């Protein structure tokens, strides 16, 4: 175990490591500047659990209705050897009729062990490239692997299609609707970056077999219900941008040591479970440990990160909590009391100083509000 891994293990404590999945890797791009998130993810900490334990449960849960719809839609698209999907691929990418193979990689002869499935996937995909005929067309739930911050994350794309112009195409099946050719931009963005994760992983998996990266198309296929029906429709999504972002983020995680170096030695987020596995650690103590890791809170975290409520509470009284735009408009001044002191002229920084212009800006804003509302700000 390398020094880094040891350090990360100490941070995580006795809890089992949470391994990355496409969603968590995609989330890295949401707030890459946040050391707290980077370290907790790299260490495989169960953020959901930790946040709740410290009294700040994450604001988002999953509705069983949504889950059900998701699984039902994927099942429908993949029913009878993915007949529905095959039709889409034929129409959408004029897949030739003989290309109708369907390989189920959900298990290997009943065995669902990840390493076994990973091996089987690589073998199947590799032969698909190398052998000429009968190469296989659709690979259901192949298992891929990506190295994230020194640890392997197993990834499971919905499906990979091959032999579309001799290239692999990642197929992402999502249950949000595409209505009149357009869908929720944020959901598509999510899907796009997740697909990019798969493209990257697939390229890595095949690199070992001397397969060129371009063999995996950076154009992925998004399959969603059409309009208000449950009929599937396919759209190509160009993930070149997402790939560049992702590569950069992953290389930054690799540099996790720099972040670890800044931590107080011996810092751990261990819950200190007793014999029965019941946590004994004082929530306050845990929270203090978390606060020892720098966070970069922005309101957008509320939609993406399990730690958001803790960080938001920590950010009380800062302009960051009001949003990126507001902080910018308040002259980049860090916290609210300081803003108000400057606005009221209680604090007059010397000319040309750091705060001089911010002060001037805030004073004139305050003056205008006072003049119009007839009461001092």
Scanning 6-14, 61-69, 159-167, 284-292 for contacts with another protein by CB under 8 A, the matching segment is: 61-69
Q: State the minimum distance, in angstroms, from the CB of residue 108 to another protein.
A: 6
Could you say which of 11, 164, 171, 177 contacts another protein (CB under 8 A)? 177
Residue 151 belongs to what H/E stretch? strand 151-155
- 321 lines the binding site for another protein (CB under 8 A): yes
174 exposure class (CB count in 10 Å sphere: 0-12, 13-18, 19+): buried
Q: Tell me: does residue 92 bind another protein (CB under 8 A).
A: no
**Among 4, 9, 24, 70, interactor with another protein by CB under 8 A:** 70
Q: What DSSP state is assigned to residue 124?
A: H
Asked if 358 is part of the footprint of another protein (rule: CB under 8 A), the reply reads yes
Q: How far is the CB of 266 from another protein (least distance, A)?
A: 26
Straight-line distance from the first to the last Cα atom of the chain, in angstroms, rounded to the nearest whole number: 58
Could you give phi then psi for residue 232, rounded to 5 degrees? -75, 150
> Which is closer to another protein, CB of 6 or CB of 324?
324
Stretch that binds another protein, among 6-14, 110-118, 260-268, 283-291 (CB under 8 A): 110-118
- Cβ distance to another protein smaller for residue 285 or 337: 337
- Span of 162-170, 197-205, 226-234, 259-267 interacting with another protein by CB under 8 A: 226-234
Is residue 132 a contact residue for another protein (CB under 8 A)? no
- Compute the least distance from the CB of residue 318 to another protein, in Å: 9
| 305 close to 47: Cβ distance less than 8 angstroms | yes
Residue 349 interacts with another protein (CB under 8 A): yes or no: no
Give the separation between CA 321 and CA 319, rounded to whole angstroms: 5
Is residue 67 left, alpha or beta, with left meaning phi > 0 and alpha meaning psi from -120 to 50? alpha
User: What are the two backbone dihedrals, phi and then psi, of residue 316, each rounded to the nearest 5 degrees?
Assistant: -55, 135
* Interface segment toward another protein; rule CB under 8 A; list 134-142, 157-165, 197-205, 285-293: 134-142
Using rule CB under 8 A, residue 136 touches another protein:
yes
Does 127 contact another protein by CB under 8 A? no
Assess 186 for contact with another protein (CB under 8 A): yes
**Residue 324 interacts with another protein (CB under 8 A): yes or no:** yes
Give dist(CA 98, CA 170) in Å, integer. Answer: 20
Long-range contacts of 326-332, Cβ-Cβ distance < 8 Å, separation of 24 or more: 330/358, 330/362, 331/355, 331/357, 331/358, 331/359, 331/361, 331/362, 332/358
């Amino acid at each position: 175990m390398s020094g880094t891994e040891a350090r990360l293990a100490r941070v995580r404590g006795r809890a089992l490591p949470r391994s990355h999945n496409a969603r968590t890797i995609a989330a890295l791009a949401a707030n890459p500047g946040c050391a707290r998130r980077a370290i907790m993810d790299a260490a495989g900490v169960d953020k959901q659990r930790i946040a709740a334990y410290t009294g700040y449960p994450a604001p988002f849960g999953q509705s069983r209705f949504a889950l059900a719809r998701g699984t039902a839609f994927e099942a429908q698209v993949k029913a009878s050897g993915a007949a529905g999907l095959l039709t889409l691929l034929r129409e959408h990418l004029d897949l030739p009729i003989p290309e109708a193979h369907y390989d189920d990689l959900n298990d290997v002869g009943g065995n669902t062990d990840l390493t076994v499935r990973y091996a089987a996937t690589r073998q199947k995909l590799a032969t698909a490239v190398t052998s000429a005929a009968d190469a296989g067309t659709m690979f259901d739930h192949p298992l891929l692997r990506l190295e994230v911050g020194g640890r392997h994350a197993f990834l499971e794309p919905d499906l990979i299609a091959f032999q579309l112009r001799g290239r692999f195409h990642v197929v992402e099946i999502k249950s949000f609707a595409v209505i009149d050719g357009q869908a929720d931009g944020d959901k598509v963005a999510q899907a796009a970056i997740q697909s990019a994760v798969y493209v990257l992983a697939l390229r890595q998996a095949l690199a070992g077999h001397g397969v060129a990266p371009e063999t995996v198309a950076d154009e992925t296929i998004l399959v969603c219900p059409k309009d208000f029906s449950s009929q599937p429709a396919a759209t190509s999504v160009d993930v070149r941008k997402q790939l560049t972002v992702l590569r950069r983020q992953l290389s930054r995680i690799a540099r996790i040591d720099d972040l670890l170096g800044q931590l107080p030695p011996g810092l751990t987020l261990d819950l200190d479970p007793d014999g029965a596995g019941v946590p004994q650690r004082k929530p306050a103590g845990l929270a203090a440990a978390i606060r020892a890791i720098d966070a970069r809170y922005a309101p957008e975290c509320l939609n993406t990160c399990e730690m958001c409520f803790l960080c938001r509470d920590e950010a009380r009284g800062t302009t960051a909590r009001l949003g990126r735009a507001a902080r910018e408009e308040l002259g980049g001044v860090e916290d609210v009391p300081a803003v108000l002191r400057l606005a009221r002229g209680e604090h007059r920084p010397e000319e040309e100083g750091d705060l001089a212009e911010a002060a001037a800006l805030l004073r004139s804003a305050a003056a205008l509000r006072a003049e119009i509302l007839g009461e001092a700000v």
